[in-house]
Amino acid sequence: MQLRFWGVRGSLPIPGPDTLVVGGNTTCVSVEHDNNIFVFDAGSGIHRLGEYLEEDERSGWTGAIFLSHYHWDHIQGLPFFAPAFRSENRFHLFGEEKKGLDLYELLAEQMQAPYFPVSMEAQQGLVTFNPLEAGDCIDVCEGVQVKTLRLNHPNGAIGYRLEAGDLSVCIITDHEHPNDELDWSVVEFARHATILIHEAQYDPEEKRGPKSGWGHSSWQEAAQVAEQAGAGMLFLSHHDPARTDTQMIPLLSRARRIFDKTEIATEATVVSVDAVARGDENPVIVAV
């Protein structure tokens, strides 16, 4: 099982000289397992994932795309996901219904004129649109389950946990823990995950102060969740767009004092989930 980060920012894409190492695209993570691909969120990073899939020589991809919620930084890349326009691909989408609209209707809104020149009907590679609710457990294919959890975020969001045998990847993005304590439903959801990806948009001082109530976590809380849950490895992600590459270095050092198996998610990061489970010394490949 292999995990790749294609977008690691929250709120908005932020390309430029200060984000060259970590990356400036918004949230998108993929997990490849047994010739299937599972995608979590469709921020601007999914465009890069599309380029990667298009370069592969296979005739068609089968996979699933799970959306945590519908804020722009989690869906804005879907109209630019090239494999969605190829009928030989078969991608199944999963997400909550909102405003009395189903998943297809919600996503089609951003591809209507005058906002976009091509309608969602052209995305013939998106074959099913599946509603889900927090707490659902989905058998996505033989031997693979995806569990869900309600997250604390304006307009609502969902956390995901993909499980295949003894391997698991838990993704907690866009979630605000109560001030001065952890949300223990998140800790239990992440219990013994091989890899935990937890948002880390704010510093603790920001999260307790001017940005309290904005629906995000601090890097400190992410590390505390990983430590309490007994995760195999933690990746801090959903970085604030104002955070530069140089600011990430002291942040990582401080997080590792809480949970030593912490890494910063970057757009170049590729991880062998099997290697993490085995306890290998170097499970992370940084494909710069």
Percent of the chain whose predicted confidence (pLDDT) is above 90: 88
Q: Report residue 247 as tokens.
A: 């600011």
Show the domains of the chain with their CATH numbers: 2-286 (3.60.15.10)
Q: How many CA atoms lie within 13 A of 90 on its CB side?
A: 6
- Predicted confidence at residue 137, as pLDDT, reads 98
How many whole angstroms separate alpha carbon 17 and alpha carbon 237? 19
CA 16 to chain centre: 22
Query: Mean pLDDT in runs of 10 for the chain (288 residues)?
Result: 97 95 97 95 98 87 96 97 96 95 94 95 97 96 96 96 98 91 96 98 84 85 98 97 94 96 95 96 76
Residues 6+ apart with CB under 8 A from 99: 106
Nearest CA-CA partner of 236 in 225, 246, 188:
225
**CB 188 within 8 Å of CB 177:** no
Query: Tell me, what DSSP letter sits at residue 9?
Result: B
Smallest Cα–Cα separation from 149: which of 77, 198, 104, 218? 198
Q: Which H or E run contains 83? A: none
42-64 pLDDT, tens per residue?
A: 999 999 999 999 998 777 899 99
At residue 65, the pLDDT reads 99
Which residues partner with 128 through β-bridges?
92
Torsion over CA: 73, 179, 211, 231 (sign): negative
Phi-psi region of 228 (alpha: psi -120 to 50; beta: other; left: phi over 0): alpha
**Residue from 145, 155, 195 nearest 175 by CA:** 155
- Of 130, 47, 60, 122, residue with least CA distance to 90: 60
What pLDDT is stored for residue 288 in this prediction?
41
**Omega before residue 114 within 30° of 0, cis:** yes
Residue 108 — φ and ψ, nearest 5°?
Answer: -65, -25
Q: What is the pLDDT of residues 87-142, one digit of tens each?
A: 999 999 999 999 899 999 999 999 999 999 999 999 999 999 999 999 999 999 98
| Nearest-angstrom CA–CA distance, 9 and 266 | 9
Whether 62 contacts 90, CB under 8 Å: yes
Is residue 48 within 8 Å of residue 8, measured between CB atoms? Answer: no
Q: How far apart are CA 259 and CA 196, in angstroms?
A: 12
Contact assessment for residue 247 and residue 259, using Cβ atoms and an 8 Å cutoff: no
Per-residue model confidence (pLDDT) at position 286: 73
What distance in Å separates the CA atoms of residue 158 and residue 272, rounded to the nearest whole number?
25
The CA angle 270-272-273, to the nearest 5 degrees, is 120
